[in-house]
Structures are given as structure tokens and as C-alpha cells.
A and B are shown apart, each in its own frame.
Chain A
């Protein structure tokens, strides 16, 4: 029952004009009925109305109590605050536009940078089927040496050669990520169990 009352009040917070008009009509009708009774009891018209009003009590205070019960006072206050906020923003239009533009550029630039870095550095290239089996052979020397390695290696399919200077610092150590930099490299170990080791040029 409480929940129901609360829901009704939420709705009331939205449709307050209607309930306000309805309350005024109801009070008017109440007074009219009372005045009719007073007239029938023999009071003069003025006196009849006055007595009815007195008996009804403080109209404005009762209206206020009715309003508070009809809606959620907190929601009302929040709504007022939001409207006030928007009015202020509209008042300082240039400030608002500048702030919005700054935010838009900032967010846009960040999103763009993120996409770029994400695509370039954190995701495997699209055309590599098995990225975690791709290895990079460092210091393989010149192209001739590469051809030799490719012909004689039994654990690796060597598929591409690149003589490129790394544009970013490479990480070292056993857990270092091995990165494919260049060319189409559908390279995968022939044998699934073979260790993915670095193949050094001077074997």
C-alpha cells in the first residue's frame, strides 16, 4: 500500500496542474454545499459564506498540505533546481557554448587517441589467424641469412623479412611481448608443442 501511494505521488509530481485545479474545484464545491446548508438554516447570504469559510479552516495552509501529500516535495525541489540550472546556462549563453565546445573537443580527442592506440598497440592485426603463436626472430641479419633460416628451420615457418628500425622501444625479458611489425605473416609454429623461443642469428 505504501508503494502504491509512493507511485501515485511520483505521477502527481508530473501532473500537478491538473490535481491543483481539481483541488480548487473540490474546495469550491465543498464551500457551496456548506453555504447551501447555512442558507437553509436561515443565515443571511454573507453570513452563510463567512461561516462556511471559517469552518473550513485556513485554505492556503490546507492547499499546501494537500500539495505536499500529492507529490514528492523532494522531487519538486529537484525539479526547481534543474530548471534554475538550465535558466542560468541559458543566461550565460557564451560561457555555456564555450564550456560545451571544450568538453566536446576534449572528449572527441581522447576517444580518437584511444581508438588509435588501441588498434595499433593492443590488438593483433586482423589478418593474423593465431596471434599468440606468431614469433619474431630478432637479429636475423640480412636477407640472405633470412633465406637460410627459412629453409633450414624446423620449428618455424618463416614468412616475412623486414629490415626495419623499431619506432618504439622494444621490451625485453622472458615475458616480453613478441610483435609482428611488417608484412603479411601467417606464421605459425609447425608443431603446437614447440617452444616459442627467439632464434638468434648466430646459432
Chain B
């Protein structure tokens, strides 16, 4: 795995939402590929782990799904962002920025010389 980072649930959900926001409706495989590409292949992601996360988001009403046909004629379940999902992106992004800003201050601390 080297320097690749494990993905944990909360961040994965936000990545999925953000991916759907930029790409529009997409199937699970497409989302997984896109997340990997966006991370610059620095994420070790078992594609399968995406599905429980998708189910959770769907239960929460952030995304909706329906079966469709892919560009190379394969049946696939497509997910799309809902209005609640867009709001959730804003909220989660704000939380995330706040957290990283706080953490950045700690990391920037220097030993008194």
C-alpha cells in the first residue's frame, strides 16, 4: 500500500457526493474510478466498499438511484444527487474546512527556541 491512504466512511461519503455533483448521474463503478483518479491514485479503495456508503447516502436521502443502461450497453444502477444531497455537501465541506484549518494551526506550532 505504501503511502496510499485508507479511506474512512465520512470522507468517502463526501467524496461520493462531490463526484456526483461534478459528473452528474453515475453508476457505482464510475464513481469509484473517478474518486481514484481525482485522488491521483493515492487512495487505496476497494471498489466494493463504496456500496455500503452509497446505501447509507441513499437512506439518508442525499442520493437517489435507478437502473439504466451504460454507454457500452450494460445495465447499471445510476446514482444522482438530490437537493438534500447538495445541502449536505455544503454542510460537510464547511465542517471539513474548519477541521483542517484547526489542525493546520496545530501542525504549524513550533518549539520555542
Chain A interfacial positions (CB closer than 8 Å to B): 1-2, 4-5, 8-9, 22-23, 25-27, 29-30, 32-34, 36-37, 55-59, 62, 65-66, 69-70
Contact = CB atoms under 8 A, between A and B. Distances in A.
Interface in B37-88: 46-49, 51-52, 55-56, 58-62, 70, 72, 74-77, 84, 88
Nearest to B77: A26
Contacts, number: 76
28 contacts: A1-B61, A2-B60, A4-B59, A4-B61, A5-B59, A8-B58, A22-B77, A25-B77, A26-B51, A26-B77, A29-B29, A29-B74, A29-B76, A29-B77, A30-B47, A33-B27, A33-B70, A34-B47, A37-B33, A56-B46, A56-B48, A57-B48, A57-B49, A62-B49, A62-B51, A62-B52, A66-B55, A69-B56
Contact of A30 (B29, B49, B56, B84): B29
Contacts of A22: 77
Interface residues of B, number: 26
Contact of B51 (A27, A32, A36, A37): A27
A58 B48 contact: yes
A33 B88 CA distance: 29
B47 A56 contact: yes
B87 to A, nearest CB: 10
Interface core residue of A4, A37, A56, A58 (most chain B CB under 10 Å): A56
Given A5-B60, A69-B52, A36 B76 contact: no
Contacts of A4: 59-61
B27 A23 contact: no
A32 B69 CA distance: 12
A193 to B, nearest CB: 72
A77 B53 CA distance: 23
B94 to A, nearest CB: 16
B50 to A, nearest CB: 9
B71 to A, nearest CB: 10
A37 B72 CA distance: 10
Given A55-B46, A58-B48, A29 B27 contact: yes
Nearest to B30: A33
Contact of B60 (A1, A26, A33, A37): A1
A69 B56 CA distance: 7
Interface core residue of B47, B62, B84 (most chain A CB under 10 Å): B47
A109 B74 CA distance: 69
Contacts of A62: 46, 48-49, 51-52
Contacts of B52: 62, 65-66, 69
A16 B70 CA distance: 27
